[in-house]
Amino acid sequence: MRKKRQKTQLELAFAPAVAGEARRGRDGGTEFRAAGPAAESPAVVGPQMEEVLDRENLRKALQAVRRNKGAPGADGMTVAELPAHLEEHWPIIRDQLLNGTYLPQPVRRVMIPKASGGERPLGIPTVRDRFIQQAVLQVLQGAWDPTFCEHSYGFRPGRSAHQAVARAQAYVAAGYGWVVDLDLEQFFDRVNHDRLMARVAQRVEDKRLLKLIRGFLTAGVMEGGLVGPTVQGTPQGGPLSPLLSNLVLDELDRELEKRGHCFVRYADDCNIYVRSERAGQRVMAGVTRFVERRLKLKVSAAKSAVAPPGRRQFLGFSLTAGEGSKRRIAPKASARFKQKVRELTRRTRGRSLEQMIEELARYLKGWLGYFGFCQTPTVLQALDHWIRRRLRAVAWKQWKRGRTRYLALRRRGVGHALAAKTAGSAHGPWRLSNSPALHAALSNTYLASLGLPSLHASHAA
């Protein structure tokens, strides 16, 4: 009953603006003029604030924010508290958006680990700002996405990292045996606000929307209880940031198209495929000049390279050369996988074997959903074997003493002689994890009955 009441009240709060409000915003009435003129010079008619505030669009935005969950922003408000907040304050917020006077709050900065090591900053907007950003995103993405380059795959509806890797693989199979692997250094932190807003203004006429988007870019960052300014960059963590990054890099896409290159871009990860090392070095030099002089971004000399595709990784995969090019799990991705499995199966975590497998299964299913796209089943088979062997070694350590180990083996159907011999062995857990006794006691079938998924079997299926 409470949920039904809450839904009804939110629908009333999201009711369409009365005609007078909309006209004041569009015609530049007293309240809108008080907000001051926008700095941008829009060139074309585009999405309007009224589309953002459409009731159905707002309902979808609220659903998306609640579905994505996420941590509180600088004001401490949780996603669960957002509906009640909107129920009480939405009419005021809507008027501010219509009048161009809404002020986004600073984002809360946290540091998260990078897959390649180190940390990167993540800006967490307040849940209210996330809701408004999501509503803006839904309108802008619908208008902008069809105009983006076909070689761009990141953060776009109906496109995926798997499609990007498959496109890259097709280039390699067609004889493009060298890749120009571009790494844009701290891309999200270096985006120039004026250049970005100039590109937004080419697609959006509504000054209220332009002012709101710039407000999200310059809202500031709260770190350690202090708020600092943001003079460049698009803070990672907000719903709008990926779309704005695609708008910035669409200029790079168009330049690469104009030059006739074969390339694939996923967010700030761009690979250009050429037929020789010499051509690759020439392309690297030319594109680096364009990125740094025209886009005012920085190409990382340390992380960018011209190399055969098999020596580089793209979205976690490497590609074998030649007409029969295959997708392989990149060595770094494989190393990260093993490190995560080691963490989940560490004996000192105080988990039983059953609990370990339950946690491990969740990770493996998610990992396989992405890396199962590889075309090297023998690698998955080897990882399967390694995981099961590690679990057997963990169980052996948990049993600790010879008597306990003997009884555990006997309970699981191992004969007296083999159980006694194995329990009294001086060999270490890793060596014994591959022994006949532990294979029999903790068979593949038994581990599967505890919920352990098979990477290789799932891939084959």
In this predicted structure, what is the pLDDT of residue 453? 95
Is 23 a residue whose pLDDT tops 60? no
Q: Cα separations (Å) of 34 from 22, 27, 212, 217, 303? A: 16, 13, 15, 21, 48
The count of other CB atoms within 10 Å of the CB of residue 271 is: 24
Residue-wise pLDDT tens digits, 64-92: 999 999 889 989 999 999 999 999 999 99
The two tokens of residue 338 are: 């093993």
Report whether pLDDT(228) > 70.
no
State mean pLDDT over 309-317. 96
Lookup: tokens for 122: 């993540």
Residue predicted with more confidence, 324 or 109 = 324
- 21 pLDDT band, cuts 50/70/90, is very low
Taking only the tens place, the pLDDT of each residue in 187-225 is 887 888 999 999 999 999 999 999 999 999 988 877 666
In this structure, what DSSP letter does residue 166 have? Answer: H
pLDDT band at 44 (very low <50, low <70, confident <90, very high): low
Residues whose CB is less than 8 angstroms from the CB of residue 37 and which lie 6 or more positions away in sequence, other chains included: 207
Mean of the per-residue pLDDT values for the chain?
87
Q: Which residue has the higher pLDDT, 230 or 348?
A: 348
pLDDT above 70 (res 277): yes
**b/e per residue, 405-434, with b = 16+ CB within 10 A?**
bbebbbebebeeebbbbbbeeeeebeebbe
3: confidence class by pLDDT, cuts 50, 70, 90: low
Q: Residue 27 — very low, low, confident or very high, per pLDDT cuts 50/70/90? A: very low
């074998």: which residue's tokens? 320
Question: In which element (H, E) is residue 319 found?
Answer: strand 317-319
Q: What is the pLDDT of residue 231?
A: 58
Q: Is the pLDDT of residue 109 over 90?
A: no
436 touches 418 (CB < 8 A): yes
Higher confidence at residue 22 or residue 353? 353
Measured CA to CA, the distance from residue 328 to residue 169 in angstroms comes to 11
Q: Does 15 or 377 have the greater pLDDT score?
A: 377
Separation of alpha carbons 367 and 387, rounded Å:
14
Structure tokens at 1: 């009953």
DSSP codes joined into one string, 250-290: HHHHHHHHHTT-EEEEETTEEEEEESSHHHHHHHHHHHHHH
Q: What is the mean pLDDT of residues 126-145?
A: 96
User: Which pLDDT score, from 0 to 100, does residue 224 have?
Assistant: 66
Is the model more confident about 396 or about 18?
Answer: 396
> What is the per-residue pLDDT for 11?
55
Q: Is the pLDDT of residue 32 over 70?
A: no
HSE at residue 253, side-chain half, CA atoms within 13 A, is 20
DSSP secondary structure code for residue 105 in this structure: P
Mean pLDDT value across residues 98-123: 81
* pLDDT score at 16: 54
pLDDT at 125 over 70: yes
Question: What are the tens digits of pLDDT across the range 199-208?
Answer: 999 999 999 9
| 136 vs 350, residue with greater confidence | 136
Q: Most confidently modeled of 19-33, 349-363, 445-459? A: 349-363
Q: Does 153 score more than 60 pLDDT?
A: yes
Confidence at residue 110, expressed as pLDDT on a 0 to 100 scale: 79
Beta bridge partners of 122: 110
For residue 161, the model assigns a pLDDT of: 97
Confidence of residue 226 (pLDDT cuts 50, 70, 90): low
Nearest to 329 by CA among 316, 310, 340: 316
